[in-house]
Chains A and B, each alone.
Chain A
């Protein structure tokens, strides 16, 4: 190797044996030539291996602006490969990590969104008299038909089954104590006060909460909601309010249907056990007060509002792309059921405090 100002000339064999003695000197020369031009003349090299190429690449990298003179195409190719191999790829994206902070931030953001949606809905309700033209009664009837009338067969079936199961399951242990006859009051109170509204809310959530989310979500994905907004029409008044009111109206009705179906199912089991119809009737009348039913109906109306609000909110928050609608529908069902159960717990507390 010859070092002259502005040039490093290599000759002979550039294999591992050949470059080892000159390695340090070559690097020092390149270091010294930093900032000035440097030509790496390899025209007289007779033999190459990867060690030689690596030295050449090192010199180029170290100097920054060195030019290689006299390279054959093969050497150029090898050199390019060495440089390419050295380009460290960026760190791969770290896998999703569960972090408490992200969960908390996400939770707070979701809660804030929910509050904002509640506010928007409240404003839409207050402004309704001024926007009466945007509120379409036909949408209200359609939503009530979809989520109420069409749900009755399912509610009847589930009510009867739940009544049957509850009566049967409680009959076995109760009979040991000779308390068969109290099964009627047990199931009746459970159904009327808790299970009726709750199961109706679960059915509404599965049938209609998801449908609300899917309908509004599809409109959102198809830019129909955006189009309404540009026209100056309020999507909350047009799309959310009819569904919300429909759910509030149909839920108490569904609850009553479910209660009666459940009591019928229970009676079926008890009659089969030999308990007379009169005894069952007396038990129910003696233990279930009208206040229990009214409280439950009020509860169910609130559950209906919660399920519809969660469903519509999921629809309005639908992101981009067709799969987003499915995500929203799932979110609506889960959110609706969770909201109903949480509200039920709060009602239990309130009723207990009030002594109802």
Chain B
């Protein structure tokens, strides 16, 4: 395999007694868009600071393009960084701000002007080159910051919640632009965010981090459809988690006994027979029908409907089954006959749509 653009090997960093980053290993391939996703305080910004060179790791190695970064100061690493707030120098014009990294690298004027024009065109701001930063809107200023991070053609750009300060509509538009820009330039990007929708929208792969440790790395679809643990299942999207005990494991299917005594099946993720587990299944993967559970077939559970909520594009059904509350999402166009609160329903899922996760 080709040398990845960025490689973290068992990186550790503590603040006082808290382990902010605890043995993190991650590789970002050249030209890949990876997002580092986690709740606040999970160590994602610390990881970014370690890569950028603002912080020194307590242990582990950080490699960039086959070079060990070690003690190299931040501005020699050749990494572009975009912060949550656009950090522009107020006394310089947009063009001068974008060209600042080149000026610091003593690039000639002609070449610098060409690079500035190209970078500004890339973020669609060619017309604003002579404006001052305080006359720009938040989205424009952030695009200038992005251009300044791209102008010196770094092999890696770090984005620290780059869209966090923008309003929702602008944020969604910028997500698409970021993705398109990254594909056009082919520069590897590492995007730190706590917003799972943003991470799914932009990234090739997502790395979910909690308490300074990676919980799962994979494509957005793999993480959503096959979470490897309870944390990832709960953190990404909505999830039903039904506790039970593993009765048997056959091939890759675990047979789980629920509190009511019913036996259901789910994909095995390495649970122990006889141990407690949680069945994780997405609300849109559940089938419900206003019939008796026995009529629905094997693995169907009796359920009682508690609440029906209309949400425009879908209908949310809150059910009580197997001793817990279960959420079901149905497309709004599906018929709702017989779905009144208090009704007895049958609930079922395909075994490969559910995961039996160890607890």
Interface bin, chain B: 20 to 34
Contact of B259 among A60, A64, A77 (CB under 8 A): A77
Residues on A with beta carbons closer than 8 Å to the beta carbon of B160: 223
**Does A65 contact B74, Cβ atoms closer than 8 Å?**
no
Residues on A with beta carbons closer than 8 Å to the beta carbon of B105: 232
Interface bin, chain A: 20 to 34
Instruction: Give the nearest-CB partner of A66 in chain B.
Output: B274
Chain B contacts to A: CB under 8 angstroms: 15, 45, 49, 52-54, 73-75, 79-81, 83-85, 87, 100-101, 104-105, 160, 245, 247-248, 257, 259-261, 273-274, 276, 323
Pick the 3 closest A-B CB pairs, nearest first: A227-B87, A232-B75, A232-B104
Please name 7 pairs of A and B residues whose Cβ atoms are closer than 8 Å in the assembled complex, sorted by A: A64-B274, A67-B247, A77-B259, A77-B323, A80-B259, A223-B84, A226-B83
Which of A68-76, A206-214, A301-309 is found at the contact surface with chain B?
A68-76
Instruction: Give the nearest-CB partner of A77 in chain B.
Output: B259
CA distance A312 to B261 in the complex (A): 66
**Does A65 contact B52, Cβ atoms closer than 8 Å?**
no
Is residue A295 contacting chain B, with contact meaning CB distance below 8 A?
A: no
**Does A227 contact B247, Cβ atoms closer than 8 Å?**
no
Instruction: Give the nearest-CB partner of A232 in chain B.
Output: B75
Chain A contacts to B: CB under 8 angstroms: 60, 64-67, 71-73, 76-77, 80, 83, 222-224, 226-227, 229-233, 319-320
CA distance A231 to B96 in the complex (A): 13
Contact of A226 among B49, B257, B276 (CB under 8 A): B49
Instruction: Give the nearest-CB partner of B105 in chain A.
Output: A232
Residues on B with beta carbons closer than 8 Å to the beta carbon of A232: 75, 101, 104-105
Residues on A with beta carbons closer than 8 Å to the beta carbon of B54: 226, 229
CA distance A226 to B323 in the complex (A): 51
**Does A229 contact B259, Cβ atoms closer than 8 Å?**
no
Residues on B with beta carbons closer than 8 Å to the beta carbon of A230: 52, 74-75, 79-81
**Does A227 contact B15, Cβ atoms closer than 8 Å?**
no
**Does A227 contact B261, Cβ atoms closer than 8 Å?**
no
CA distance A80 to B359 in the complex (A): 14
**Does A73 contact B261, Cβ atoms closer than 8 Å?**
yes
B334 to chain A, nearest CB (A): 31
Instruction: Give the nearest-CB partner of A84 in chain B.
Output: B276
**Does B87 contact A223, Cβ atoms closer than 8 Å?**
yes
CA distance A222 to B160 in the complex (A): 12
CA distance A229 to B54 in the complex (A): 8
Residues on A with beta carbons closer than 8 Å to the beta carbon of B75: 229-232
Q: A64-B274, A223-B160 are in contact. List 9 more A-B contacts (CB 8 A).
A: A60-B274, A73-B259, A73-B261, A83-B276, A222-B85, A231-B101, A232-B75, A232-B105, A320-B45
Residues on A with beta carbons closer than 8 Å to the beta carbon of B74: 226, 229-230
CA distance A67 to B80 in the complex (A): 58
B358 to chain A, nearest CB (A): 14
Q: What DSSP secondary structure best describes chain B's contact surface?
A: mixed
CA distance A73 to B302 in the complex (A): 14
**Does B261 contact A71, Cβ atoms closer than 8 Å?**
yes
Residues on A with beta carbons closer than 8 Å to the beta carbon of B104: 231-233
- Of the listed residues B49, B87, B100, the one surrounded by the most CB atoms of chain A closer than 10 A to its CB is B87
**Does B259 contact A227, Cβ atoms closer than 8 Å?**
no
CA distance A227 to B85 in the complex (A): 10
CA distance A83 to B274 in the complex (A): 12
B254 to chain A, nearest CB (A): 14
CA distance A324 to B353 in the complex (A): 46
**Does B261 contact A319, Cβ atoms closer than 8 Å?**
no
- Of the listed residues A72, A77, A223, A233, the one surrounded by the most CB atoms of chain B closer than 10 A to its CB is A223
Instruction: Give the nearest-CB partner of B89 in chain A.
Output: A231
**Does A226 contact B259, Cβ atoms closer than 8 Å?**
no
Residues on B with beta carbons closer than 8 Å to the beta carbon of A227: 81, 83, 87
A88 to chain B, nearest CB (A): 15
**Does B83 contact A76, Cβ atoms closer than 8 Å?**
no
Residues on A with beta carbons closer than 8 Å to the beta carbon of B49: 226
Residues on B with beta carbons closer than 8 Å to the beta carbon of A64: 274
Residues on B with beta carbons closer than 8 Å to the beta carbon of A319: 15
Contact of B260 among A60, A73, A223, A320 (CB under 8 A): A73
Residues on A with beta carbons closer than 8 Å to the beta carbon of B73: 229
Residues on A with beta carbons closer than 8 Å to the beta carbon of B79: 230
CA distance A60 to B245 in the complex (A): 12
CA distance A277 to B235 in the complex (A): 81
A19 to chain B, nearest CB (A): 22
Contact of A65 among B45, B83, B273 (CB under 8 A): B273
**Does B274 contact A223, Cβ atoms closer than 8 Å?**
no
B243 to chain A, nearest CB (A): 8
**Does B81 contact A226, Cβ atoms closer than 8 Å?**
yes
Residues on B with beta carbons closer than 8 Å to the beta carbon of A72: 261
Residues on A with beta carbons closer than 8 Å to the beta carbon of B260: 73, 76
**Does B274 contact A229, Cβ atoms closer than 8 Å?**
no
A327 to chain B, nearest CB (A): 12
